[in-house]
Amino acid sequence: MEDRPWSTTTSAERIAQFLRTCPPARVTIVVEAATVEGLAWLAANTAGRELRLVLGNAFSEGWETAPAGVHRETVAGLFARADVETRFWQPPARRYDGPSISVWYTDGPPPDALNATTQLTAACLHEHIDSIGSVQTSDLDYVRHWVQRTVDGSWDATQALHQAP
């Protein structure tokens, strides 16, 4: 990779590896921001995988302003899949201008998770230098509870997504 001499993998490659190697159970993905391009990448890398997407409030603007075409059709197909549950959540307000968080979690067995600053955007997946780490086994219970609290505080996005242009 001539344009990334400091890194041998992109965030997209790291997350794709997690999706290939984690247990074949539902993956819950909690992100603060997503774009049509990022969700199209997710669709291409999760065919046949049960997903629960918990998308932060930054997504609604992206859907409305995204150019029509292949990516939008791909994302509409992702949202229409019977094995995909899509929810919205309101990320907590920050007292500082720090990084966003994303969590990729599967109940397993055995449970597994990634914790990252990578969001579901083309820039984060392919260009930014983001922090991604496997969650240590000793922290998986905490992450499971955090994911569940976030899901509990989210709402079904189906109706809003079907009204999107």
Q: Tell me if 117 sits within 8 A of 131, measured CB to CB.
A: yes
**Residue 82 pLDDT exceeds 60:** yes
Q: Which residues contact 84 (CB under 8 A, 6 or more apart)?
A: 50, 51, 52, 53, 78
Task: State how far the alpha carbon of 103 is from the alpha carbons of 4, 5, 82, in Å.
Answer: 25, 27, 22
pLDDT digits (tens, 9 = 90+) for 7-21: 568 999 999 999 999
Res. 161 pLDDT band, cuts 50 70 90: confident
**pTM value?**
0.86
| pLDDT surpasses 80 at 125 | yes
Token pair of 23, please? 């247990």
Q: Which tokens is 74 given?
A: 């791909």
**What is the model's pLDDT at position 85?**
96
Instruction: Note the pLDDT of residue 95.
Output: 54
Distance CA 108, CA 150 (A): 19
Task: Please report the pLDDT score of residue 33 as a whole number.
Answer: 86
Instruction: Domains for the chain: give ranges and CATH numbers.
Output: 11-163 (3.30.870.10)
Which band of pLDDT confidence, cut at 50, 70 and 90, is reported for residue 1?
very low
CA distances (Å), origin 61, targets 49, 123, 134? 26, 16, 30
> Confidence class of residue 65 from pLDDT cuts 50, 70 and 90?
low
In this model, does residue 158 exceed pLDDT 90? no
Predicted confidence band at 40 (pLDDT cuts at 50, 70, 90)? very high
pLDDT digits (tens, 9 = 90+) for 92-105: 665 555 557 899 99
Residue 35 confidence (pLDDT): 85
Sign of the alpha-carbon torsion through 36, 125, 21, 4: positive
* CA end-to-end span of the chain: 37
Question: DSSP assignment of 56-121, as one string?
Answer: ETTHHHHHHHSPSSHHHHHHHHHHH-TTEEEEEE-PPPPSS-----EEEEE--SSPEEEEES--BS
Mean pLDDT over each residue of the chain, to the nearest integer: 84
